[in-house]
Amino acid sequence: MATNKRLQQTPKVLSKKQRDYLSSLQTLISASSRSTSVTSATLSTNTFTELKTFSAGISSTTGAFSGVLTGTSTTASTSSVTGAVIVAGGVGVAKDSYINGHKIGRGAGDFDTNIAIGRLALGNNTGTSVTAIGVQAADVNTGSTVLAFGYQAAYQNKSNNLVSIGPGSGVSNTGVNNVFVGGNAGTSNNAANCIAIGFNAGANNLGGGLTAIGSAAGAANKVGGQFLVAIGASAGYGNNGYGCTAIGYVALSASCSGHRNTVIGSNAMDAATTATNNTAVGAHSLGAVTTGAGNTALGGYACDLLTTGSNNVVIGFESDVAAVGDTNSIVIGKGAVGLGTNTTVIGVTATTSTKLFGSLLITGDTVSVATQKTPASATATGTKGDIVHDTNYIYVCTATNTWKRVAISTW
């Protein structure tokens, strides 16, 4: 390779600085004046206006490269002092950069309030104040004030004020002021002011004000299902009722359109379709109800026979109404069973004594004492206030172990 003749015509008198510069420049030119490859060079000042490829190394105190700088070394970096490029100080980069296939920078739009980390992160974006971390995170995004973390998190998001953490979370979201955490959480959400945490939680939701925690909790919630609180796997799935609460595995999960149901317990009200204003607390409580309204069931499997009846109160483990369509039946006691519509049962056959404090007002016209009893004598054991009867007399205990009686007859 020929030496540049003009540089060989060195003036007779040069300063030491000039001589050092020319010596350095000749080293570079001799290696690369007709080539785009430089194996090694050390310069005090250098400027490249065309593509240069470095197969070994170059060190410089000042450098300006207006073309493309390419290194052919494939040495991987394992620390800040290893690799094909080693920089002792900081590095200032004005545009998006790619490291091992992943982008670091501002993404599309080049807004200085945005941060993009990952291949295709913020690849197509018009929003500002967006932080996107992950492959295709917030890609095709038009919303502002967005945090997207995970593969395709907030992909194709169209609204503002979104926190989307997890692969596929917040995809195609159109609602504002939402928080989605978990794989596919809030995907295709079309409502505002929602919180969904868990895999597929709040996916395909249309009801505003949703709070969903658990796998598929609150998923497919309809437009009518505003303000649903769903906690537990598939809790409140497909709900279309206003102001409902579903807590527990598959609680209220049969796409019910009834309003203001409060359901706590695994499988509680999991068959309800249009049932409304019910309260079910306990696993499988009101588990068969479909259209009944205004029922209250407290206890595991409580009132799990009822389907269409309304206004029943059933309290106790495995306590139940007498028939699927009973109305206004009150049943209290573990395993207690009602007598039918408009009846009250307190206790079970094993109950031997019931104590009521205060006055007892009976508005009906009949008091029934099913079992007869005859005291052995006027001084038989008894407690003041006891009343019993047999075929001929009514007996009243007026004091401890003191009985009086009155004869009864036909007419």
Residue 276 reports pLDDT greater than 70 = yes
Give the confidence band of 21 by pLDDT, cuts at 50, 70, 90: low
Question: Rounded to an integer, what distance in angstroms lies between the CA atom of residue 267 and that of residue 90?
Answer: 59
Residue pair 379/401 in contact (Cβ under 8 Å)? The answer is: yes
At 34 the pLDDT is 44
Longest dimension (CA), the chain: 155
Q: What mean pLDDT is predicted for residues 388-408?
A: 96
Mean pLDDT of the chain: 89
Using alpha carbons, select from 197, 224, 229 the residue that is nearest to residue 210. 229
Residue pair 194/205 in contact (Cβ under 8 Å)? The answer is: yes
Residue pair 270/264 in contact (Cβ under 8 Å)? The answer is: no
pLDDT tens for each residue of 149-174: 999 999 999 999 999 999 999 999 99
Residue 239 reports pLDDT greater than 50 = yes
Give the confidence band of 7 by pLDDT, cuts at 50, 70, 90: very low
Residue 18 reports pLDDT greater than 90 = no
The alpha carbon dihedral of 371, 376, 377, 380 has a sign of: negative
Give the confidence band of 66 by pLDDT, cuts at 50, 70, 90: low
Question: Rounded to an integer, what distance in angstroms lies between the CA atom of residue 335 and that of residue 316?
Answer: 7
What pTM was computed for the model? 0.81
For residue 118, is it left (φ>0), alpha (ψ between -120 and 50) or beta? left
CB atoms within 10 A of CB 206: 18
List, in order, residues 6 or more apart from 157 with CB less than 8 Å away. 127, 138, 141, 142, 143, 146, 148, 164, 170, 171, 172, 173
Using alpha carbons, select from 274, 306, 265, 276 the residue that is nearest to residue 289. 306
pLDDT tens for each residue of 24-34: 666 555 544 44
At 12 the pLDDT is 57
Residue pair 265/300 in contact (Cβ under 8 Å)? The answer is: yes
Residue 43 reports pLDDT greater than 50 = no
